Chains A and B, each alone.
Chain A
Amino acid sequence: MGGSERQGPEGPLARAARSLAIAGGILLVAAMAVTVASVFRGALGRPILGDTELVELLVGVAIAWFMPWCQARRAHVRLDVFTARAPAAMRRSLDAAAGVLAAIVVAVLAWRLVQGGLDAHERGRETMFLQIPLFWGYGAAGLGMLLWSIVAAVQALEGLGFARRRPGP
Chain B
Amino acid sequence: MTPHDVGIAMFAAVAVLLLARLPVGIAMLVAGAGGYAAIAGLWPLLNTLKTLPFSRFSSYTLSVIPLFLLMGEFATKGGMNAALFRAARAWFGHWRGGLAVATIGGCAAFGAICGSSLATAATMSQVAGPEMRRAGYSPALATGTLAAGGTLGILSPPR
Contact = CB atoms under 8 A, between A and B. Distances in A.
A150 interface: no
B62 A109 contact: no
A63 B21 contact: no
Which of the listed residues B24, B29, B51 has the most CB atoms from chain A within 10 Å of its own CB?
B51
Interface stretch (A15-23, A28-36, A40-48): A28-36
Measured as residues with beta carbon below 8 angstroms from the partner, the interface class of chain B is 20 to 34
A83 interface: yes
Contacts, number: 103
A56 B60 contact: yes
Nearest to A71: B23
Contact of B26 (A57, A61, A101, A115): A101
Measured as residues with beta carbon below 8 angstroms from the partner, the interface class of chain A is 35 or more
Contacts of A138: 54
A32 B24 contact: no
B62 A94 contact: no
Nearest to A74: B23
Interface string B40-77: 00000010011101110111101100110010010000
Given A32-B70, A56-B59, 5 more contacts: A1-B73, A76-B25, A102-B23, A116-B51, A145-B53
Interface of A: 1, 4, 28, 31-32, 35, 52, 55-57, 59-61, 63-64, 76-80, 82-83, 91, 94-95, 97-98, 101-102, 105-106, 108-109, 112-113, 115-116, 119, 137-138, 141, 145
